[in-house]
Structure 1
Amino acid sequence: MNHRYTAALLVLVTVFSGVPAPVAAADQTAQCSFPMTVTDATGTDVTISEDPERVVTTNPSAAQTMWEIGARDQVVGVSQYASYLDGASEKANVSGSNGLNVEAVIGLEPDVVLVPNTTYTAEPDRVEQLRSAGVTVVVFESGDSLDAVADKVERIGRLTGNCEAGIERADEMRTSIENMERALEGVDHPVGLNVFFGYAAGGDTFISDVMTSAGLRNGAAEANFTGFGQLNEELVVEMNPEYIIVPSHAPIPSGPGFESTTAIQEDNVVVVDANNLQQPAPRAIDASETIMKAVHPDAYERYQELQNRSATTTTADSTTATATTADEPETTTATTAPEQTTESSAPGFSPIVAVVALVLTAFLRRRR
């Protein structure tokens, strides 16, 4: 199958998922030590016995997340679609001619395998084969927003022994989301439409949130178009998007319906790096920034100012924390954390728990 069409189908398969929704959020203590037990998106309780040293990612979004939290050295296997990542060519390829190569994964002797929803829904039998072989596998639920992506980043950091880095990167994403909202206050949102190979992202998708966070209204969502699905030109004419968002690996849409739209007539087509736009991973924020810069240049400038202020504040806080630590006594008694915590919901730390977890981590395990 043509590479670009396969990549598009990887996005589409997320919607038609048979994976159960995670259990409702409950108050619980998130931990950053091992062993830990989590309940994944399939409802399976998964125990990770030790701080993982060998991680396999079966989808480019999981690989991108490991790269973004500075944990690429732990990754021993990636899918073929993660080849765009710097250094990915040095990792084993766990993709086969017909999907996930189970034998290749087992041969890498991973401590944990990270399986995003797209892989599981396409190949649930192969995931079960891995589990039957004694491989530790964690399946992730589909995210329908940038906030959900940030939560997943935090969770992957915790599951792979990179708790602090996961929290830091997730918080950077959340700060960016907040700064976009502030920069766009009082700004009109024109109608936008994401199109790739005749399909579009409707409501309840993270791509829709990428667009709306950047200052667009998702015309497909407003037309009661949910998930990812095929467009017809009548619907395109009816919604008349002012902007069309296209991933870089897809052609600009054509045909009478599209040619009649304000977007095409005014050349308002925004091409976004497909690896940012179509993967629920940290660089999805970059996709929102690309769209905002094209659609709302003035708001984008305000956003950059807010980002710079946030970065300055973070640096100042870090400097203050370092100075405070230097003044503390050298000997500190650590409180022992519970050996195991069961997670029964989507990832997420409360601010207090996050602080406690970071302190405990410094004493209880090797920092990455």
Structure 2
Amino acid sequence: MFRRFVAILIAATLILSAAPVPVAATAQADQCTFPTTFTDATGSEITITEDPERIVTTNPSAAQTMWEIGAREEVVGVSQYAMYLDGASEKTNVSGSGGVNVEAVIGLEPDLVLVPNTTYIAEPDKVRQLRDAGLTVAVFESGDSLTGVADKVERVGAITGNCEAGAERADEMRTSIENMERALDGVERPVGLNSFFGYTSGSGTFISDVMTHAGLRNGAAEAGINDWGQINDELVVTMDPEYIVIPSHAPVPSGPAYNSTTAIQEGNVIVVDANNLQQPAPRAIDASETILEAVHPDAYERYQQLQNESATAETTSDATTEDETMTDEQTTEPTDSTTEAPQTTSESESPGFGPVVALVALAAVAFVARRR
């Protein structure tokens, strides 16, 4: 079933491109500020007048992001590939036989529609129809690295009215990325190959970054494969990967070429949940962790220690901040009997959005594109 989807574009980019905002400023905001205006991946200027309460996500990575920032209740429509999320079956399925079901989306009367660039490239007319119907549609770009995904999570929080939650989840990802890098410092990295239905993830893909952050060298990238592309038997033999990484819905590659590899002969095939490995969303960190544990168990143990230390430090910092706030409130007194004690207020700021980065169309597999 999967092969017939081959050859539609997997987009390079997912989630609104924006000028970066200091993390601290966003994290301190209790709520986002509306209206907010930004330029999306189509070059269109999008204005969101007020905090959107009804949101449609047309691909699973956007849905996963909304779930991960605690905003699932705001989502009224999801794609068929997002049904793995807890509670997604209660939402309206906006997928049709040929992609997005325009009528279903319009019927939900959403305040905001999140559309991946994959959909726009493959189905620009459908995006146009949604906009012609008066809907606010944000076409967003895809992160090509774990750090890019973290930035995307923060931006999703900003445009959906979940600034603090988006910033916190993004910071959790950044901390995990840093801790993986620290745990792998000085560790020798074996060659790995991501394989799915005769295709692989080369340089410039977030899956490549998932693998390298887990302590593998991406053999496909080193062989000169860019983006997503086919891999032939000759290259597999020459590469001789020590580990093969496959998504959970794909079969273990076989045949003389693969059977000759160190990975197959030593049983080093790592099966990763496809919803974590193939979606540029927060759970991509889980994919890296799965690979890291299989390839470098000692480094994985060190990583877990660093994660615990980071969590403890954050808890201590939060507690200290709360104590300082309470102390300030307790020591602040009226200057006289007719003057109220001054109150400290902080004005919420919404992250600004800059010009969209250049679009890069990637030739790849439509099944993966739809699942993203």
Q: Same fold (TM over 0.5)?
A: yes
Q: Matches of 2:77 and 2:119 in 1, distance apart?
A: 14
TM-score (norm 1): 0.86
Deviates more, 1:278-287 or 1:32-41: 32-41
Letter in 1 for 2:160: T
Matches within 5 A, 1:312-327: 312-327=312-327
Change (3 A) 1:61 1:342: closer
What is the SS of the residue equivalent to 2:187? coil
Deviates more, 1:118-127 or 1:57-66: 118-127
Change (3 A) 1:338 1:222: closer
1:179-200 CA-to-partner distances (Å, cap 9, x unmatched) read: 0000000100000000001100
The residue that corresponds to 2:176 in the other structure is: 176
Q: CA deviation at 1:56?
A: 0.5
1:19-38 CA-to-partner distances (Å, cap 9, x unmatched) read: 9x958x58899783100001
Q: CA deviation at 1:41?
A: 1.3
Q: How many residues align?
A: 340
Q: Matches of 1:275 and 1:340 in 2, distance apart?
A: 29
Q: CA deviation at 1:337?
A: 6.3
The residue that corresponds to 1:229 in the other structure is: 229
Conserved 8 A contact 2:158-2:350: no
Q: Matches of 1:270 and 1:290 in 2, distance apart?
A: 8
Q: CA deviation at 1:132?
A: 1.2
Q: Matches of 2:77 and 2:236 in 1, distance apart?
A: 41
Change (3 A) 1:340 1:304: closer
Conserved 8 A contact 1:184-1:299: yes
The answer to which structure, 1 or 2, has the higher relative contact order (CA under 8 A, 6+ apart) is 2
Change (3 A) 1:189 1:129: same
Letter in 1 for 2:355: S
The residue that corresponds to 1:344 in the other structure is: 355
Deviates more, 1:35-44 or 1:57-66: 35-44
The residue that corresponds to 1:13 in the other structure is: 9
Q: CA deviation at 1:5?
A: 5.2
1:164-208 CA-to-partner distances (Å, cap 9, x unmatched) read: 000000000000000000000010000000000110000000000
Conserved 8 A contact 2:17-2:354: no
What is the SS of the residue equivalent to 2:194? strand
The residue that corresponds to 1:65 in the other structure is: 65
The residue that corresponds to 2:338 in the other structure is: none
Q: Matches of 1:5 and 1:50 in 2, distance apart?
A: 43
Q: CA deviation at 1:48?
A: 0.4
Letter in 2 for 1:44: S
1:119-148 CA-to-partner distances (Å, cap 9, x unmatched) read: 222212111111111111111112110000
Conserved 8 A contact 1:55-1:111: yes
Letter in 2 for 1:272: V
Conserved 8 A contact 2:17-2:140: no
Change (3 A) 1:342 1:229: closer
- The answer as to 2:132 corresponding to 1:129 is no
Q: Matches of 1:131 and 1:314 in 2, distance apart?
A: 43
Q: Matches of 2:74 and 2:322 in 1, distance apart?
A: 28
Q: Matches of 1:16 and 1:342 in 2, distance apart?
A: 19
What is the SS of the residue equivalent to 1:343? coil
Q: Matches of 1:331 and 1:5 in 2, distance apart?
A: 67
Q: Which stretches in structure 2 are left out of the alignment for 5+ residues?
A: 330-340, 358-372
| Higher Cα Rg, which structure | 2
Letter in 2 for 1:247: P
The residue that corresponds to 1:159 in the other structure is: 159
Conserved 8 A contact 2:199-2:229: yes
Letter in 2 for 1:206: F
Q: Matches of 1:15 and 1:54 in 2, distance apart?
A: 26
Letter in 2 for 1:42: T
- The answer as to 2:199 corresponding to 1:199 is yes
Q: CA deviation at 1:13?
A: 2.7
Q: Which stretches in structure 1 are left out of the alignment for 5+ residues?
A: 347-368
Q: Matches of 2:153 and 2:21 in 1, distance apart?
A: 20
Q: CA deviation at 1:97?
A: 1.3
TM-score (norm 2): 0.86
Q: Matches of 2:312 and 2:244 in 1, distance apart?
A: 35
Change (3 A) 1:337 1:317: closer
Letter in 1 for 2:97: S
- The answer as to 2:56 corresponding to 1:56 is yes
Q: CA deviation at 1:118?
A: 2.2
The residue that corresponds to 2:86 in the other structure is: 86
